[in-house]
Amino acid sequence: MSTREIKAAGLKALELATALLQRARRADPVAGVWEAADVQWWWRKPRRSDAAEKLFWVDDQGPVAGVLLTSWSDAAWQCDPVIVPGAAGPAPSAVWSRALEHARQHAAQGFEVPVSDDDLIFRELALGAGLTAGEQDRTAWLPAAERPSVSTPRAGFAIVDRTGGRDAPHPMQARNGEDVAQRLEQCSLYDPALDLAVEAADGRIAGYSLYWFDPITKLGLVEPVRVEDEFQRLGLARAMLSAGIERLAARGAERIKISYQTEAAAALYQGIGFRQTSTATWYQAQPA
């Protein structure tokens, strides 16, 4: 099956990236770093990279490879070369070289390329290109059938979602800007019933978390999870997680994924039943 190269930006690029990552996940249950829901979560706020064209290679069924670009700030960019396992298309080395070339056109101050530590080909290409290994994170999975029972938050707190109060300021607005609710609504996998927060009796938001169900892959993703500092160690994160995971299972999620960096997060997620399956390394490309 022949492939052709196309370019897209904005919501069209998000649509293609979503389809690419869904196809990659259907081809392999664990390969790669990202789920389709990850790139939709990144859409939550305007970025310089929104207008940057992304590269895709497509066949008659859709994307088989791509180069995703994400700017976290003016100086911090991320480049993600993605290939559907087993699909006929460009060679990994060709996608990799195009990825670095394309990223350097937009990220004058350097960029990072996350690579799964199980991906021997991309690891070799990263080191061969002179990139420097930087931060790592860990990924864990939970079979929905092994999910914990739902924990009730302690007295004085309630778990709420966005189905009944979508005109109210979004709990993530302070960190992600006033457009966060509108931007999330533009995402095909966003569900306001899976957008949870813990509300204190006085109306303050004690924490929030967002759960993504992908009906194509039958997977759930948890991203993000946050409890504000003054409400730590009250069991609120576990209460939110158990409620959100239960809602994912009710929608048909067969497995749930979460990624993290800290030991505190590892203890929380492992206590719920998540089991680490892989790690990833962020390789740093210095300014040209």
Q: Which of 197, 198, 199, 247 is nearest to 221 (CA)?
A: 247
Chain centre to alpha carbon of residue 8: 20
Are 224 and 176 in the same domain? yes
Are 127 and 160 in the same domain? no
Are 130 and 101 in the same domain? yes
Would you say the pTM of this structure is higher than 0.75? Answer: yes
Q: How far apart are CA 250 and CA 221, in angstroms?
A: 14
Report the length, in residues, of the chain: 288
So what's the pLDDT on residue 279?
A: 98
CB 212 within 8 A of CB 252: no
Are 67 and 167 in the same domain? no
Are 107 and 153 in the same domain? no
Residue 77 lies in domain: 4-136+280-285
Are 207 and 258 in the same domain? yes
The residue ranges of the chain whose pLDDT is under 50 are none
So what's the pLDDT on residue 81?
A: 99
Are 98 and 199 in the same domain? no
- Strand, helix or coil for residue 175: helix
Q: Look at strands 132-143 and 255-260 and give their pairing.
A: antiparallel
CB 198 within 8 A of CB 157: yes
The number of domains in the chain is 2
Burial state string for 80-102 with b = 16 or more CB within 10 A and e = fewer than 16: bbbbbeebebbebeebbebbbeb
Spell out where the chain has E strands. Answer: 4-8, 54-59, 62-71, 77-83, 111-116, 132-143, 157-160, 195-200, 205-214, 219-227, 255-260, 275-285
Are 11 and 116 in the same domain? yes
So what's the pLDDT on residue 168?
A: 85
CATH number of the domain within which 62 lies: 3.40.630.30
So what's the pLDDT on residue 167?
A: 76
Please give the structure tokens belonging to residue 137.
Answer: 């994170």
Are 57 and 110 in the same domain? yes
Are 177 and 191 in the same domain? yes
DSSP summary character for residue 216 = T
DSSP secondary structure string, 109-174? T-EEEEEETT-HHHHHHHHHTT-EEEEEEEEEEEEGGGPPPPPPPPTTEEEE-SSS-TTSPPTTHH
Are 150 and 273 in the same domain? yes
> What residue type is 189 in one-letter code?
L
Are 23 and 131 in the same domain? yes
DSSP summary character for residue 29 = S
Chain centre to alpha carbon of residue 96: 21
Give tens-digit pLDDT for 224-277: 999 999 999 999 999 999 999 999 999 999 999 999 999 999 999 999 999 999
CB 198 within 8 A of CB 206: yes
